[in-house]
Structure 1
Amino acid sequence: MASKLTSVVIGAKAKHTATVVFLHGLGDSGHGWSFLGDELSSLLPHVKWVMPNAPTVPITINGGYRMPAWFDIIGSDKSNTKQQDQKGMMASVSSVNQLIRQEVDGGIPSDRIIVGGFSQGGVMSLLTGLTADYKLAGIIGCSCWLTMADQIKSIASESNKKTPFLMCHGDQDTMVQLGLGEESADKLKVLGYDVTFKKYLGLAHSASPAEIQDIATFIKDRLP
């Protein structure tokens, strides 16, 4: 059973007609990405921002140290199926789907909801979008990769086959290599998904003003 997540919520400044759910990275919290809603709320006053907090779990690669995470990191090879915590990933997908369902139950159509995330959170946003029963407005993945790539074709739903994806990555990222991000975007394109991939020169495993601007433009286009 999916656990209920706590979230940092930034309410819409005007009439609430759309929602962005944005997932943080390993060891972070919803507060770590609350700046996104703070910065963009004047541009997107109709949007409510939901930044959920990941559960605290033991991380194998860190000697079992417990920290906020959407799934366990078993090894350094992110493309190795045996090093992927698929059970943890799917449990987190279920928890994110609960958040989407709460918004839909509150009167926001699913196609007025965007799911995004950074690093581990980006992995989860891609996986949620690909497998969700809900038709979303858009999916954003920053500094992340496509997990369970060999299984996506069999586990993906039809709901977001036409939904635009925005993937962003710094070319100086040593935590999640640019090549892995590019390869992930290419795999999704081969599967027929509408993916825009943005590369940022000099950017490490973090966000930049140019990236935030591209995210803002994507959200504004998808949630007018």
Structure 2
Amino acid sequence: MIDLHPDGARHAVIWLHGLGDSGAGLAPLVDALDLPTSLPVRHLLPDAPERPITINMGHKMRGWYDIRSFEQPEDRAVESHVRESAASIQGLLERLIAEGFAPERIVLAGFSQGGVIASFTALRCPQTLAGLLCMSTYLAAPDALLGEMSEAARSLPICYMHGIYDDVVALSMGWEAKNRLEAAGLALEWHEYPMRHEICRPQLADIRAWLLARLGA
């Protein structure tokens, strides 16, 4: 795990990478945001475990969960793996809190698979977090959301971002997540970009502005 911990940091962002990537692979995003030095923020970028991924012919790679197919919601994310990974990230949250970081100063963020785990964790987290940022992603176990969502999640600032031309996680899957969250009574900010399964420059400016608003700058 990469842990960027500047002196005086009172805020933290946990960044969760996509399938086959790593914390190091997502680290350039943190640099590109160019957050002000007057607001020192701790950035944690954990690595998913290596596991066989069915849609990649069973080859082993870093993945927060297995994907059997994108045809049915239950196949998009093996639920037992999702829950294991979410428990691991909740443990990382608890560690940050034990170190003195207030929950309301911690943001959970993720791209693709990482966004799935970020949302699954944040929506069930008993503490009120600073925000949830999900990029090019979808919901795991959507039918369980209403029964498992925490009371703290009802006031959670949420932002979803998706590429119109995403050929890995279709835009419709992002809209499905948006509709599920709104049906659960949650409000969220939504952004679309003329891009594929990636992060584009205009999106960086929006991420930066959203983070600064959440972290009180």
TM class, shorter-chain normalised?
over 0.9
Stretches of structure 2 that go unaligned for 5 or more consecutive residues are: none
Give how far 1:186 is off.
Answer: 1.6
CA displacement, residues 114-161 of structure 1 (integer Å, 9 cap, x when unaligned): 001000001111111111122110001000001211110011111221
Amino acid at match of 2:51: V
Q: Contact 1:10/1:38 (CA < 8 Å) preserved in 2?
A: no
SS in 2 for 1:161: helix
Q: Contact 2:15/2:43 (CA < 8 Å) preserved in 1?
A: yes
202, 205, 212: which one aligns with 1:210:
202
Give how far 1:43 is off.
Answer: 2.2
SS in 1 for 2:70: coil
CA displacement, residues 90-114 of structure 1 (integer Å, 9 cap, x when unaligned): 0000000111111101100011000
109, 127, 139: which one aligns with 2:132:
139
Measure the CA separation in 2 of the matches of 1:11 and 1:36. 16
Q: Contact 2:35/2:208 (CA < 8 Å) preserved in 1?
A: no
CA displacement, residues 27-86 of structure 1 (integer Å, 9 cap, x when unaligned): 000011111222335426421000110000111222221100000011122x43255300
Q: Return structure 1 stretches of 4+ with deviation > 6 angstroms.
A: none
* Number of residue pairs aligned between Structure 1 and Structure 2: 215
SS in 2 for 1:131: coil
Q: Contact 2:160/2:191 (CA < 8 Å) preserved in 1?
A: yes
**With structure 2 as the length reference, what TM-score do the two structures score?**
0.95
Stretches of structure 1 that go unaligned for 5 or more consecutive residues are: 1-6
Q: Assess, with a 3 A threshold, how the Cα gap between structure 1 residues 181 and 114 changes in structure 2: closer, same or farther.
A: same
Identity of aligned residues (%): 31
Quote the RMSD (CA, aligned, Å): 1.3
Q: Contact 2:33/2:205 (CA < 8 Å) preserved in 1?
A: no
Q: 1:163 aligns to what?
A: 156
96-105 or 34-43: bigger deviation: 34-43
Measure the CA separation in 2 of the matches of 1:206 and 1:130. 24
209, 212, 222: which one aligns with 2:214:
222
SS in 1 for 2:159: strand
Q: Assess, with a 3 A threshold, how the Cα gap between structure 1 residues 214 and 83 changes in structure 2: closer, same or farther.
A: closer
Amino acid at match of 2:89: V
Measure the CA separation in 1 of the matches of 2:76 and 2:41. 37
**With structure 1 as the length reference, what TM-score do the two structures score?**
0.92
